[in-house]
Amino acid sequence: MNPDLIVIGAGIVGAAAALAATQAGLETVIVESAVPGAGVTGAGMGHLVILDDALLALSARSLELWRALPDHAGSEYRNTGTIWVAETADDLAGLAQQSIHLEAQNVTSRLLDGASLQALEPDLARDLPGGLLVPDDAIVYAPKALAYLLEQARSAGARLLLGRRVTRLTGGGVRFADGTTLTGAVLVATGSQGSELLPELPIAPRKGHLVVTERASASIRHQLVEAGYLRTVHEPGQATVAMNVQPRPEGQLLVGSSRESGIQDPGVSPGIVARMLRRVFRFLPTLREHSAIRIWSGFRPATPDGLPYIGRIPGRGQVWAALGHEGLGITTATGTAELLVDLMLERRGRIDPAPFDPARRMLAP
């Protein structure tokens, strides 16, 4: 029996899309070559964050959808909020602007002066001029959320094909490594490997590192991100670092972040980890004595303009993409799923699809 939709990739984006499609009445099959969450989903932090850039509307809508999921999709959701931490007076002025942009999307935020910042997060360095608290941001444990989304999709009727590798798109469906085929509309949601099936869509894996600490007595309550973080996201440079620290519900800390382009080696690079940690100590000097249990790296799927590809691929019939979410795939999985299904069913949705149209960036065949 041929499905209406074949979702390739059981990461968080593919799973959310499969669930939304199934709930919308589409006969859906999810295909995964490895194990669910083996790619970007399992490597990330799980920070649900509204970014003040071209993804503002999508991320704000996505957070609404996350909150609407029963038990937040079993994701161990915690409403920690985010504090964007300024290092300089210029940073603080930028955060004031960010606050206005958030307000326009009905997202609450509160500017903090140095003293209020200290009061909320006493571990922060005392010379920091202030910050911006976004109280509705949250953290999740993405592997659990993924397991929930897949289970919901399955009980709604979707089929999950594990250990099956799609080698190419046939025009009307997919061909597997064993030579068999499946016919139906196709959604490519294979994260940083998206270009393998859709070479016309440029995606550059962007390596990142995370450190997890031992459970300890740190008093950090909010996800803390330095104000300059977005600059490192949008900077095309070779290697950038920015303080981004998350308190896990178990008392451990996730410590990031780094971005490196043009690197394929998945091993941990001690040099960039050292740079990253030094940057973190600038904001959180007491973390120097905390112990790291594990360091790992992952690859964010980055597009040239920093925006994901969400929509139909021109010239390929019923082939769709949900790719290139960089570091924001977990946050925007829910909004991406809603947007896609609206587009597939030709419904007018709440998010403007134009900025994400894959046609904008297609390479000549």
Partner 1 sequence: MPEHFDILVLGAGPAGLAAARTAARSGLTVGLVDEQSAPGGQIGRRPIWLRPSRLRPSRAFRETIDALRSDSRITYFPGERVVACEKGPALVTETPHGCAMLTGGSLILATGARELVLPFPGWTLPGVMALGGLQVLAKGGWPVAGGGIVLAGSGPLLLASARTLRQAGAQIHAIVEQASRQAVLRFLAGLPAWPTKVLQTLAFAPGMLRMGYETDAFVVEALGQGVLEAVRIESRGRRRIVPCSYLGIGMGLIPNVEAARGLGCALEGNPHPAVAVNAFQETSQRGIYAAGEITGIGGAELARLEGAIAGYAAAGNLTRARALSARRAHWMRFGAHLMRQFALRDSIRQLAEPMTIICRCEDVTLGAIDQVSDAGTLKLLTRLGMGACQGRMCQPALAELRPRYRPGATSGIPRPPLFPARLETLAGLAPGEPL
Partner 2 sequence: MKTIALTVDGVAVTVVEGASAAAAVAARTHVFHHSRTGHPRGPFCGMGQCFECRIRINGRLALACLERASSGMAITTGA
Residues that bind partner 1 in the complex, under the rule CB under 8 A = 34-38, 42, 143-144, 147, 162, 211-215, 255, 266-268, 270, 273-274, 277-278, 280-282, 287-296
Three-state DSSP class for 219? coil
The least distance separating partner 2 from the CB of residue 292, rounded to whole angstroms, comes to 12
**For partner 2, the closer CB: 249 or 314:** 249
According to CB under 8 A, which one of 113, 214, 305, 352 is a site residue for partner 2?
Answer: 214
Nearest approach in angstroms of CB 63 to partner 2 is: 29
Residue 277 Cβ vs partner 1, minimum distance, rounded to whole Å: 4
- d(Cα 9, Cα 324) in Å, to the nearest integer? 13
Residue number, 42 or 135, with CB nearest to partner 1: 42
Least CB distance from residue 326 to partner 1, whole Å? 21
Find which of partner 1, partner 2, none residue 187 binds, CB within 5 to 8 Å per kind. Answer: none
213 binds, among partner 2, partner 1, none (CB under 5 to 8 A by kind): partner 1
CB 291 within 8 A of CB 264: no
CB of 288 to partner 2, least distance (A): 12
Strands 138-139 and 110-113: unpaired
- Give the shortest CB-210-to-partner 2 separation in angstroms: 21
Task: Spell out the long-range contacts of 25-29 with Cβ–Cβ below 8 A and sequence spacing 24 or more.
Answer: 26/341, 26/344, 27/1, 27/3, 27/157, 27/184, 28/3, 28/4, 28/153, 28/157, 28/158, 28/159, 29/3, 29/5, 29/158, 29/159, 29/160, 29/161, 29/182, 29/184
**41 vs 109 by CB, closer to partner 1:** 41
Residue 219 vs 264, nearer CB to partner 2: 219
Its sign, for the CA torsion 122, 124, 128, 130, is negative
Asked if 352 touches partner 2 (CB under 8 A), the answer is no
The SS3 assignment for 191 reads helix
Residues 254-313 that bind partner 2 (CB under 8 A): 289, 291
Assign 207 to helix, strand or coil. Answer: strand
Q: Which does 216 bind (CB under 5 to 8 A by kind): partner 2, partner 1, none?
A: partner 2
Pairwise CA distance, residues 315 & 336, whole Å: 22
Min dist CB 286 to partner 2, Å, is 12
Stretch that binds partner 2, among 36-44, 140-148, 208-216, 347-355 (CB under 8 A): 208-216
Query: Do the Cβ atoms of 233 and 259 come closer than 8 Å?
Result: yes
Q: In angstroms, how far is CA 332 from the centroid of its own chain?
A: 6
Q: Residue 167: helix, strand or coil by DSSP? A: strand
Chain positions contacting partner 2, by CB under 8 A: 214-216, 250, 289, 291
